[in-house]
Amino acid sequence: MAKKSVTPMMKQYLEIKQDYPDAFLFYRIGDFYEMFYDDAIKGAQILELTLTQRNKNGQEHIPMCGVPHHAASNYIDILVEKGYKVAICEQLEDPSTAKGMVKRGVIQLITPGTLMEQKAGENKSNNYLTAIHQTDDQYGFAYVDLSTGEMRSTVLKDLTAVENELVATRTKEIVIDESVTAPTRAVIDKLKILQSQQNTVEQRSEFSYVSQNLTADAEIQAVKHLLMYLTVTQKRSLAHLQQSVHYQPADFLRLDRYAKRNLELISNSRTGKKSGTLLWLLDATKTAMGGRLLKQWIERPLLERQQIEQRQALVQLLLDNFLERNTIQEELTHVYDLERLAGRVAFGNVNGRDLIQLKTSLQHIPQIKYVLSELDGQAFKPLLDQLDPVEEVVDLIDQAIVDDPPIAVTDGNLIRPGYNAELDQYVDAMQNGKKWLAQLEAQERQATGINNLKIGYNRVFGYYIEVSKGSLAKLPEDRYQRKQTLTHAERFVTPELKEKENLILGAKTKATELQYQLFVALREQIKDQIKRLQRLAHGLAQLDVLQSFAVISEEAHLTRPQFTDGHDLQVTGGWHPVVEKVIGKQSYVPNDINMPASLDILLITGPNMSGKSTYMRQLALTVVMAQIGCFVPATKATLPLFDQIFTRIGAADDLISGESTFMVEMMEANDALRQATPNSLILFDEIGRGTATYDGMALAQAIIEYVHDHIHAKTLFSTHYHELTALEESLPALKNIHVGAMEQNGDLVFLHKMQDGPADKSYGIHVAKLAGMPTSLLERANKILQQLEAGADNQDAKTERDVRQASSVHIAEQVPAEKGQLSLFQPEVTAKPRSSQEDQVLAAIKNLDLMDMKMFDIVKAAVKWQEMLKK
């Protein structure tokens, strides 16, 4: 926007704004943050502010809007939540002493990834900022939660892994540099994550500390760019940042974004909320730290059996000792968010109330330690070593900070009497001054005879003597000097009042300034103990999650699972824990899942709504719960350790990428087939339903055969293609099971019980009846079904099976209505004689032993037949 002429202040604004073109600039003027030009136009619309103009009488009208400085945080939160950045521009000198234009500068850039304050209800969630650095064949990947100081980093091999990690961390903002290529940026764009550019890196000592345990150059560069971005945007101490912890995604049970979505581990697939998820079920944590750690454990289950069994042993101890567990829970309810309190101390935005919370939290640590040591000091020793009460900090806060401090640290009334002698003198002067004022008021009333005379104070005029207008005649003329006229009264000062005002206000100003200085010094002393506080916070978070597991295991009657080194899987009386909690234990029908080492695939048939998908999900949730160290929903469970879980459950388009349901289905299936190992768990729900019947059936069979012959992973495969149940005869590691159902008085009753063998009927029309379809429609469907079944009964059974599997042969044609509707699988009816090529094709089909052929060979033969028929 071309500017013909601007005032000195607007010139200053434009110069500052030039450095922050992608952010809203909150420019401090007095008690308001103002926005100008495009920021004002857009900000007024988003924040619902009144848009005004500056220089209304001048040649240029400048759009303008503003917010009060004391309420700015609410408006900033709205902008950041919508994905914008906000640059806070403050007055860097006192306007009353400034010569000329007040010096201003940006003191902080607040972005979606650098928020320090969490909204109510989100204290159990992390807010991650991520950085990516790309080399020829790998990606350095690092992420940090600025509010807690925790940082992790790794090296990823491909874009799929990058996408999975971005989704897993739910990162709000990504820092990229010039190394990041267009395909990588496209993935970030698809995920709708804010990108921020940080190309340069300066050498800083804290960078070496944070990255000292890392070896890969790409990973180190990602960490450095991440830290440089924080340094540039936050412009303050980052002493609370912890050393970056290297991790490998392969060190944990792999759950890609499809599996996490389908299993609803963290967020409900319909609402996006926590309710109805595994996290919702298991969260009986008492602290924000524990809530965040629980989420991290669920997202990354363990692979190391010893670690899992160590967690299980501690859960068992807490489960078996109700009174001690109850005491620990009670103590934890008094522990505030130590991780974020430590971050606020380092960041410099901690206040007096935060320090009282810190002191209160630390005072409960000794009792927690005592209870744990009485339970089993040896078993809990790794945790006990982390539970440092940090007594020095408790003593410092107790000596310095009053019990009920104000929110603002610049308002005074913050430091205890006796902590600082100089401060006590100022406080004494203020208190004695107030006594003197009370005495002066009594003296003046007596001297003047005005009983309603009073001494007051306001910030504009200071101290004054107020006299009603009806009593003005009684005032002596030599001592009283008029200061302010009101409607019903006059205000005056006297020489004595002026003298005492200087003393009182001088003491008050000095006391307020000194209290702030003492508070800052105290904050710096506490900052020296941040590493100890963070270690304590991590120990408390672990204890909180473990007691949460114990509480839920007791309430839901969960069982401690056993692990086997082989591939035997046995779950007796298992249930879906979330569904059971919602509908009640009395209504839920438990089921067994038995898969010995020799059995890889369970082929599940049965009607819709009967519970096939729930049965599959409950196994996956049982595995996740077991490998995070929790007990599981079953009366008995013996499990192998799984390295990956792949799912294809439910139908969903990826509209953002322009991918159909079937394409998403194939992509998820392909990921499983390429990545799965014999130690993986695969859940495929009705693969192939998104395309034509024969195509879908062919794909489903080919996938089953591929898993059976090449992968050997434990697989649950549900289908409505009843033809596939014949595979049990040719695939020794496959077994048919079905969900029981029965007809009662013409209605369908689901038994929700798994039984051996294939389902004998689909019950599709019965399910449609349950869904409330019109009666006339259902009657018509029944008639059509009877016609189809009657036609099918007249076919040769082997021919029918062979034809169904030869998916490339077109064998169903609509016939004239007067002849009746034929079965879907009835051979083609034609009025003309068959050609020699047609005879050859039919002979080939009739003599072919399809059950001994692979799907590829069948399709190859079908292509040959099609070419013959075209001739």
| Nearby residues of 19 by Cβ (< 8 Å), 6 or more positions away | 106
Eight-state DSSP code of residue 819: G
In a domain, residue 836? The reply is yes
657 is in an annotated binding site: no
851 and 729 inside one domain: no
Burial bucket for residue 674 (CB in 10 Å: 0-12, 13-18, 19+): exposed
Residue 804 to residue 722: CA distance in whole angstroms: 11
Task: Decide: 90 and 105 in contact? Cβ < 8 Å.
Answer: yes
In a domain, residue 265? The reply is no
In a domain, residue 410? The reply is no
Residue 635 has φ and ψ, to the nearest 5°, of -85, -25
Query: How far is CA 858 from its chain centroid?
Result: 48
Sign of the torsion formed by the C-alpha atoms of 810, 812, 814 and 818: positive
3-state helix/strand/coil string of 374-413: HHHCCCCHHHHCCCCCCHHHHHHHHHHECCCCCCCCCCCC
Of 555, 571, 595, the domain-final residue: 555
For position 61, what pLDDT does the model report?
81
pLDDT digits 0-9 by tens, 537-570: 999 999 999 999 999 999 999 999 999 999 999 9
Burial bucket for residue 867 (CB in 10 Å: 0-12, 13-18, 19+): exposed
For position 131, what pLDDT does the model report?
96
436 and 313 inside one domain: no
Helix (H) or strand (E) holding 605: strand 601-605
Whichever domain contains 91, its CATH number is: 3.40.1170.10
User: Cα dihedral angle (775, 779, 781, 782), rounded to 10 degrees?
Assistant: 140
- Looking at the chain, how many residues does it have? 871
Residue 507 to residue 511: CA distance in whole angstroms: 6
Residue 111 to residue 129: CA distance in whole angstroms: 9
Within 10 angstroms of residue 417's Cβ, the number of other Cβ atoms is 10
214 and 188 inside one domain: yes
83 is in an annotated binding site: no
Task: Decide: 308 and 625 in contact? Cβ < 8 Å.
Answer: no
- Alpha carbon separation from 71 to 33, 110, 388, 459 (Å, rounded): 10, 16, 38, 21
In a domain, residue 788? The reply is no
Residue 83 to residue 193: CA distance in whole angstroms: 8
| Nearby residues of 584 by Cβ (< 8 Å), 6 or more positions away | none
Strands of the sheet with 128-134, listed across from one edge: 194-197, 173-176, 128-134, 139-145, 151-156, 245-246
Task: Decide: 350 and 520 in contact? Cβ < 8 Å.
Answer: no
566 and 551 inside one domain: no
Burial bucket for residue 448 (CB in 10 Å: 0-12, 13-18, 19+): middle
590 is in an annotated binding site: no
- Alpha carbon separation from 55 to 39, 58, 104, 520, 836 (Å, rounded): 17, 5, 21, 41, 94
In a domain, residue 267? The reply is no
First to last CA, the chain: 72
Bridge partners of 734, per DSSP, are 601
The runs of H, that is alpha helices, within 810-854 are: 836-847
Task: Decide: 46 and 82 in contact? Cβ < 8 Å.
Answer: yes
Token pair recorded at residue 68: 């009060």
In a domain, residue 22? The reply is yes
For position 657, what pLDDT does the model report?
46
Of 773, 807, 839, the domain-final residue: 773
Helix (H) or strand (E) holding 799: helix 797-805
Burial bucket for residue 565 (CB in 10 Å: 0-12, 13-18, 19+): exposed
83-86: long-range pairs with CB below 8 Å, 24+: 83/112, 83/194, 84/23, 84/24, 84/46, 85/20, 85/22, 85/23, 85/24, 85/109, 85/110, 85/111, 85/112, 85/196, 86/23, 86/24, 86/26, 86/110, 86/111
- Alpha carbon separation from 717 to 111, 689, 721 (Å, rounded): 45, 13, 11
Burial bucket for residue 112 (CB in 10 Å: 0-12, 13-18, 19+): buried
Question: Domain range for residue 729?
Answer: 562-773
Bridge partners of 659, per DSSP, are 654
307 and 214 inside one domain: no
Of 738, 773, 808, the domain-final residue: 773
- Alpha carbon separation from 653 to 539, 622, 688, 767, 770 (Å, rounded): 42, 28, 15, 24, 26
Q: How many domains does the chain have?
A: 6
Residue 365 to residue 387: CA distance in whole angstroms: 7
For position 810, what pLDDT does the model report?
35
606 is in an annotated binding site: yes
| Nearby residues of 694 by Cβ (< 8 Å), 6 or more positions away | 804, 807, 808
613 is in an annotated binding site: yes
3-state helix/strand/coil string of 534-574: HHHHHHHHHHHHHHHHHHHHHHCCCECCEEECCCCEEEEEE
765 and 628 inside one domain: yes
177 and 289 inside one domain: no
Whichever domain contains 544, its CATH number is: 1.10.1420.10
Rg value, the chain, Cα:
37
Strands of the sheet with 489-493, listed across from one edge: 454-458, 462-468, 489-493, 481-485
| Nearby residues of 325 by Cβ (< 8 Å), 6 or more positions away | 318, 319, 547, 550, 551
Burial state string for 230-249 with b = 16 or more CB within 10 A and e = fewer than 16: bbebbeeebbbbbbbebeeb
144 and 217 inside one domain: yes
| Nearby residues of 343 by Cβ (< 8 Å), 6 or more positions away | 116, 146, 147, 148, 149, 240
629 is in an annotated binding site: no
722 and 624 inside one domain: yes
Q: Which residue has the tokens 């000195």?
A: 8
Residue 117 to residue 230: CA distance in whole angstroms: 16
Residue 76 to residue 117: CA distance in whole angstroms: 11
Task: Decide: 176 and 132 in contact? Cβ < 8 Å.
Answer: yes
DSSP sequence for 480-540 = -EEEEE-SSEEEEE-HHHHHHHHHHHHHHHHHHHHHHHHHHHHHHHHHTTHHHHHHHHHHH
In a domain, residue 402? The reply is no
766 and 821 inside one domain: no
Bridge partners of 464, per DSSP, are 456
619 and 747 inside one domain: yes
In a domain, residue 690? The reply is yes
Token pair recorded at residue 421: 């002698």
| Nearby residues of 484 by Cβ (< 8 Å), 6 or more positions away | 461, 464, 490, 491
Whichever domain contains 174, its CATH number is: 3.30.420.110
692 and 571 inside one domain: yes
Task: Extract the residue ranges of the chain whose pLDDT is less than 50.
Answer: 1-3, 652-658, 796-831
